[in-house]
Each structure stands twice: as C-alpha cells, then as structure tokens.
C-alpha cells in the first residue's frame, strides 16, 4: 500500500509547476555614467548621490516577468556573443551592467555600449529588458529628484 502512495506522490510532484516567489527575486542595473538602480538594497544612485528607492510590487513583477520571458537566467556570461557587431560607432561609450537573482540562481551580464549589435536574438531580449527597467526607473520620483550628476566624459 505504501508503494502506491509513493507512486501517486511522485506522479503529482512531476506535474506540479514550481513558480519561484517574488521574495527570491532581485536585480541591479548599472546604466553607466554613474546611474545604478539596486533593487537588492532598495537604492538608486546618480553620480555620487544615493537615495532609498523601494520599487512597487507591480514594477518588480514586470521586471521579474520580463526576465523570465527573455530567458535572462539562461544567457551566457559575461554577455551574449557580439557576433558581427561593429566597434566604435557610439562615442563616448560606457560599460553597462545588469544582474538578476532568482532563488539561488544569479546571472551577471556586462557589455560595452561602444559595440553596435544587431537587434535580434539575445541582444534583442536584453534591449527589451533594458527599455523596461529604464521606464520603471524614469517613473520614480526619487530618481527624478536626484540632480543630474551623471559623469559624461564629453
């Protein structure tokens, strides 16, 4: 009889979809030029000023969902292949950093904005995620209240 219970338990476990909780999710987005959104520590920095910033659950959910949708946690570190990209078209350029944690899995990406990559595949996915996070960040009054202290070398 216990073998029947074990089989039923295994069968139900294999069909159950485990969805990570939002409590296990965090991210960091460093736009370069001194702007960093750190959802782990609930801060935003612009230049040499850092202030508290707690994103709404809806904003966290939208970033979480986009990371899942674009398979962020499956992307190659430190960045997808540059492929047939062109170097030096964007000047000045900076290093962009995007990190996400889901449960015990963390993915850390960084790339130089000087590369012009094709808007397809993994680079398109990263671009969509970047646009979403930029939109979320731009709506935050704490971010807007920071003076423009980004350091540009031009």
**What pTM value is reported for the model?**
0.78
Question: In terms of residue numbers, what domain contains 119?
Answer: 20-145
Q: Does residue 61 lie within any of the structural domains?
A: yes
Query: pLDDT for 40-97, tens place per residue?
Result: 999 999 988 999 999 999 999 999 999 999 999 999 999 988 887 778 766 788 899 9
Q: Does residue 45 lie within any of the structural domains?
A: yes
Helix axes 57-69, 121-138, angle to 10 degrees: 170
CB 28 within 8 A of CB 129: no
Q: Does residue 24 lie within any of the structural domains?
A: yes
Q: Does residue 1 lie within any of the structural domains?
A: no
Q: Does residue 115 lie within any of the structural domains?
A: yes
| Domains of the chain: total | 1
User: Tokens in use for 47?
Assistant: 């230049």
Q: Does residue 14 lie within any of the structural domains?
A: no
Query: pLDDT for 84-93, tens place per residue?
Result: 777 876 678 8
Q: Does residue 30 lie within any of the structural domains?
A: yes
**What is the CATH classification number for the domain harbouring 105?**
3.30.1560
Q: Does residue 92 lie within any of the structural domains?
A: yes
**Residues in CB range of 52: below 8 A, 6 or more apart:** 42, 43, 142
């Amino acid at each position: 009889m216990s073998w029947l219970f074990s089989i039923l338990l295994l069968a139900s476990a294999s069909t159950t979809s485990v969805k990570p909780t939002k409590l296990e999710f965090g991210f960091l987005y460093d736009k370069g030029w001194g702007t960093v959104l750190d959802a782990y520590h609930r801060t935003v920095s612009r230049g040499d000023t850092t202030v508290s910033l707690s994103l709404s659950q809806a904003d966290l959910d939208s970033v979480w969902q986009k990371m899942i949708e674009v398979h962020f946690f499956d992307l190659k570190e430190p960045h997808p292949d540059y492929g047939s990209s062109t170097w030096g078209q964007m000047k000045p350029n900076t290093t962009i950093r995007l990190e996400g944690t889901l449960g015990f899995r963390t993915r850390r990406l960084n790339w130089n904005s000087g590369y012009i990559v094709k808007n397809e595949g993994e680079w398109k996915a990263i671009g969509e995620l970047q646009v979403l996070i930029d939109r979320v960040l731009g709506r935050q009054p704490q971010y807007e209240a920071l003076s423009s202290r980004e350091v540009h070398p031009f």
